[in-house]
Each structure stands twice: as structure tokens, then as C-alpha cells.
Structure 1
Amino acid sequence: MAQAESHAVQLEGIRFAYPGADRPLLEDLDLTLARGELAAVLGPSGVGKSTLLNLVAGLAVPEVGRVTVLGTEVTALDESAAARWRRAHLGFVFQQFHLLPYLTVAENVALPLALQGERWEDEGVRSFLGRLGLAEQADAYPRHLSGGQAQRTAIARALIHRPPVLLADELTGNLDEETAVAVMDLLVEAVEELCTTTLVVTHAPEVAARVHTRYRLAHHRLHREP
């Protein structure tokens, strides 16, 4: 365990297959991320990039192998313990946003703080939204947002509680170039100031160009790119 604790994220000998599949999606996969590392995973659709994020988050369980994050063996947690651990340690940007329709933008963003029992100030949440160009949407409901606004809301929600690990599925997928650059500026700032270890799945050149490490997922494994 001491060796695992020197890393923020460590996947060892992972094998994962969906029920009924002829062969595993991931096999003999390894990944090690240092604390504060900003890494990207590239590859075509269907190779298992989103599944990889779910494994790190404890949302999927491998058939074989071990996932250790911040010294906790995620694969050993039951469902309830994994949920508590995620709330305390992870920020997650899902490809489909998963915003709660009955909460305003500001309330959606503040949700991670509320779930942890933290006191939060509306002014602070609105200031954070302003950094992502969402000041005017703070009181709007998700159904009134454009795709790009919903994406930025999801990103704000993932970062508001200053998580030590951030996972993002197509972080800038619905953003125009200018907003995507602003989001990457915020992400790099979080990595540098908070030592946030970040793993993103992306096809976007503005994301891939600014990460520390790039991996390509192919033939069931990760391959580090120059």
C-alpha cells in the first residue's frame, strides 16, 4: 500500500469486459498518475475511454486488477463506501452533464458542497460561475441552457469543492474555441494551485496540447505518446 500512496492514481493489471461480450474491452491495462499530473486519453469511440474513467471513479468494477486512488483501494469498497469516497475526493464531468433539472445553475454547482455538509456562500458560487462566463445564467434552470452553457455548468460543479482528483469525459466537447481556452486556463490553474490530478478523455486539440501526459487507448491497453 505504501507504494500506491506515492501516486494519485494507479491501475494495475486491469481486465474489464461487459456481460455477453466476446472479448474484454480492457485487458492487462496499467496506468500511474503522479499527484498534480494532467493527463489525457485519446482514441476512437468504443475503445473504452469512458469505461476507464468509470473504473477510476469506482463506478465500474474490473474482473481482474486493482484500482488505487489517493491511497484508497477503490476496488475494495462496497457501493455505499464508494459513493461517500467519490463525494469527498472526486470531481467528475460526465459527457451527458447529469445536471439536476429542478435546481438552478447556481444550486447545481453548489451541490457537491451541500452533499459534504459544507457551508457555502451564494456570492462565492456566483463569482466562480462568472469565471466560466455563466454569471447571467446563475438563476436559470438546465432546460434553458445551451449545450455549451450546460457543459460549463458541469465543469463548475466538478471544480467548486476543489477535489484532489478530477475526471472529465470530453471536457470541452460542446464549447466554442474561446470558451474552451478559458476552461483549459481554469483547469491548468486548478492543477497548479491545488495539485489536482486530472484525467481527461478528449478529441480536442486545445486540451491535448496543454496536458502533461498523453495516452492512446488501443488494443485494450494504454500507450504513452511522445
Structure 2
Amino acid sequence: MAGKEDLKLLGLQVSPFVIRVCMALNMKGVSYDYVEEDLFNKSELLLKLNPVHKKVPVLIHNGKPICESLVILQYVDELFDGRSILPTDPYVRATARFWAAYIEDKLCPAWMGIVKAKAEEERAEKVKETLAAIEHVEVAFAQCSNGNAFFGGDSIGYLDIVLGSFLFWFEAVRRMYGLEIINTSKTPLLAAWAEQFGGSVEAKKVVPEADKAVQYANKLHAAATLATELVSSQ
């Protein structure tokens, strides 16, 4: 098993994708060095190790980079001993991967679109997409949990990490725009799950407060406004 000197994680405190990796490494009991990146001024190391997307997270193992959070989760699960993160049963594992891809491809860009939208019409459209997607995830929870507290059964697993990493941003969206993405009326199962996940030891170790996400969103808006002003003044 790799020691602390073998692992380094390039990340960002408010990135849900980085939080996924931190949670997985902690669940495996693995030590690693963490390097905070400034995505407004990306390091040469980040640009060198992830030249395709130029994004975090990047896990560096023995000098070799692994990029993209879902890929890293599987890598960590296969590499290190300890409790399994992905389901061990082939069918359940395939189902979990399907829903993880759905969350990544549909839910993620929708709620991020709410934060990034510059016009109210655009934001309203992203709200519709987000609420439609989360209702599908409510159905997924009913299918995958088998009546247990988490997607992964009675303890946190792969899908819990994938979706749970967004929860503090969902709270940020509520504070900024008054939108409850997960609520007890339309998604009661996910509402109960979110409370369990948020109170777990695994989440408390790495998930930041929603205020951090609000602050970062405001920083993004300020940067976007400045960029627009610079373009219009040319």
C-alpha cells in the first residue's frame, strides 16, 4: 500500500469533485499530501498533469497523475485495502455506475447552470432541469437503497459520495436563490438521506460550510462581470 510520500492531491476546498476524492481516501484510511489550487491562477503543475481539462482534482500516485473524480474513486477503491466504495456485486455495481453517470451528465450541469446563469430566463430553465433530474435521482435512491439509510446500504458508498459532495452547494443555491433542490415534499427519501449523510463522520471531515460555496459563487460572478466589462470596453 502506498504511503503518504506516494500520494498528493491537487484540489480546491469548494470543489465537490475534490471532496469526493478526499472522502474516498479518508474512508480507506490513506494518508496524502493536499495542495490547494487557485483556479483563477492555475499552477504549472496542474496544467502539466491535466493538460486536457486543466481542472481539479488530480491525484498524483508515485508521480503519475489520475484525473476526473469518478475515475479517481474507482482507482482508489481498487488500489487500497479497506471497505469497498463501489458495490461488489456486478449488477449493483453497474447500476451505481449508471446513476453516477446520470448525476454527472444531467444533474451536475443543471445546478451549476443555476449558479452561472447571467439572465433570469436562463436560470429558470436550469431550475427546471435541476428539479427534473433530482426527481429521477429520488427514484434511483428507492431502487438502490433497498430501504436502507444510504445508496450503499447501511453505510456510505459510491453513489452517496457522488451525490453527497453536492449538498453544500445545494444549500448555497437555497441561500442565494431560495431554491430547495432536495425537499421533504417532492423528494422525501433524498431529504432523509441528505440529513443522514450530512451528519456522518465521513462528511463532517471534509465537507465545507455552505458559506464557502456562496463566497466562491460571488467570486465567480465578480470575475465574469469584470471579463464582460473588459470585452465591452475594447
TM-score normalised by L of structure 2 = 0.31
Q: Which has the higher relative contact order, 1 or 2, with Cα contacts under 8 A spaced 6 or more apart? A: 1
The structure richer in strand per residue is: 1
Higher Rg of the two aligned structures = 2
TM-score normalised by length of structure 1: 0.32
